[in-house]
C-alpha cells in the first residue's frame, strides 16, 4: 500500500486568504543544491531492490527543495525516500503524511526520511551509516518552528492543479472562487498543465504511481508563481 498524504489535495477554494501570499522576512542560509540532493538520494537508493522505480523531482506542497524516489519491490511493497534541503523541511513534510500501521515504518535522519517495509527502511539506515530504529510515530516539529506562508500558497496552487487534472468540471465551477484567493492561479495552472512537457501527466490517472512522479515536475514553477505573488501582494 502506498503512503497516503493527509489533506494535501483537498484545499478548499476559500481555505486561505491573500495574506498567506505575503512572504515574511527570511534569514539567508546556504542550502544544498538540487544536484546535492540528487547525489544524496542516489547513495540511499543503493539499499533498495526495486522492480519499478519512479523519481520525485520536487516537493509540490512545500517551498523547500526535495528529491525522492518511489520504489516498488518484487512483493509489491512500496518504499519512499525523500531528501530535503534541511532537517526542518523534512520534518514539516512528514506532518502531512499518515503511516499504515500494518505494513509501513519510518526512519528519519538529518534532512531525509524513508517509509516502507521495516526491513527495507532499516537497510536504508544501514546504507546511510546511521543507527536508527524504525518507528510508526511521526516526529514533532521543533518548538520554535514558524510556519512558512509560501507553503500555504504552494499547497493551494498544487491542489488547484490536481483539481484541474482530476475534476475539470469542479475546476471550472470554482474558477471565480479560486481567483479570489490567488489572482491568476487558474491561468497559471492551465498553462503549466497544457505545456508540452506535461503531456504524460495529462495522460495518467491520479491513482497511478507515475502520476505522482510526473506531478512533482510542477514543483519549481508552482513555487516561482507563489514567490512572485508574495512579492507583488499588497502589505
Rounded to whole angstroms, how far apart are CA atoms 14 and 20? 12
Query: Is 24 within the bounds of a domain?
Result: no
Q: Is the pLDDT of residue 25 over 80?
A: no
Residue 18 domain flag: no
Does one domain contain both 165 and 107? no
Query: 162 in a domain, yes or no?
Result: yes
Q: Residue 30's pLDDT is what? A: 60
Which position has the grid cell 509560501? 150
Three-state DSSP class for 71? strand
Residue 111 inside a domain? The answer is yes
Q: What is the pLDDT of residues 67-91, one digit of tens each?
A: 999 999 999 999 999 999 999 999 9
Residue 71 belongs to some domain of the structure = yes
Boundary (domain end) residue, out of 96, 127, 158: 127
Average pLDDT over the chain reads: 87
Boundaries of domain holding 66: 31-127
- 186 and 217, same domain (yes or no): yes
pLDDT at 185 over 80: yes
Residues 113 and 158 reside in one and the same domain: no
- For residue 112, tell me if it sits in a domain: yes
- Residue 126 C-alpha cell reads as 544501514
Specify whether 173 is located in the same domain as 107.
no
- Give Cα separations from 148 to 34, 66, 187, 220 (angstroms): 20, 16, 24, 17
Average pLDDT over residues 110-114: 96
Over range 20-39, report the average pLDDT: 59
Split into its structural domains, the chain has a count of 2
3-state secondary structure of 48: coil
In a domain, 167, yes or no: yes
- H-helix or E-strand containing 169? helix 168-173
Task: Tell me the per-residue pLDDT of 135-161, one tens digit each, with 9 for 90 and over.
Answer: 999 999 999 999 999 999 999 999 999
Amino acid at each position: 500500500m502506498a503512503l497516503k498524504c493527509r489533506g494535501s489535495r483537498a484545499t478548499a477554494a476559500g481555505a486561505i486568504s491573500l495574506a498567506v501570499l505575503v512572504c515574511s522576512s527570511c534569514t539567508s542560509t546556504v542550502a544544498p543544491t538540487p544536484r546535492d540532493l540528487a547525489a544524496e538520494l542516489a547513495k540511499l537508493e543503493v539499499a533498495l531492490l526495486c522492480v519499478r522505480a519512479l523519481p520525485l523531482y520536487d516537493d509540490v506542497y512545500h517551498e523547500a527543495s526535495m528529491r525522492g524516489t518511489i520504489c516498488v519491490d518484487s512483493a509489491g511493497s512500496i518504499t519512499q525516500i525523500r531528501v530535503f534541503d534541511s532537517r526542518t523541511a523534512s520534518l514539516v513534510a512528514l506532518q502531512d503524511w499518515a503511516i499504515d500501521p500494518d505494513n509501513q515504518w519510518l526512519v528519519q535522519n538529518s534532512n531525509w526520511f524513508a517509509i516502507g517495509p521495516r526491513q527495507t527502511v532499516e537497510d536504508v539506515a544501514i546504507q546511510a551509516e546511521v543507527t536508527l530504529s524504525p518507528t510508526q510515530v511521526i516526529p514533532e516539529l521543533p518548538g520554535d518552528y514558524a510556519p512558512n506562508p509560501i507553503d500555504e500558497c504552494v499547497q493551494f496552487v498544487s491542489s488547484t492543479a490536481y483539481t484541474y487534472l482530476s475534476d475539470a468540471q469542479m475546476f471550472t465551477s470554482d474558477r471565480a472562487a479560486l481567483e479570489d484567493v490567488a489572482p491568476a492561479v487558474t491561468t497559471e495552472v492551465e498553462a503549466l498543465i497544457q505545456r508540452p512537457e506535461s503531456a504524460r501527466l495529462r495522460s495518467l490517472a491520479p491513482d497511478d504511481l507515475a502520476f505522482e512522479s510526473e506531478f512533482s515536475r510542477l514543483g519549481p514553477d508552482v513555487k516561482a508563481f507563489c514567490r512572485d505573488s508574495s512579492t507583488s501582494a499588497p502589505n
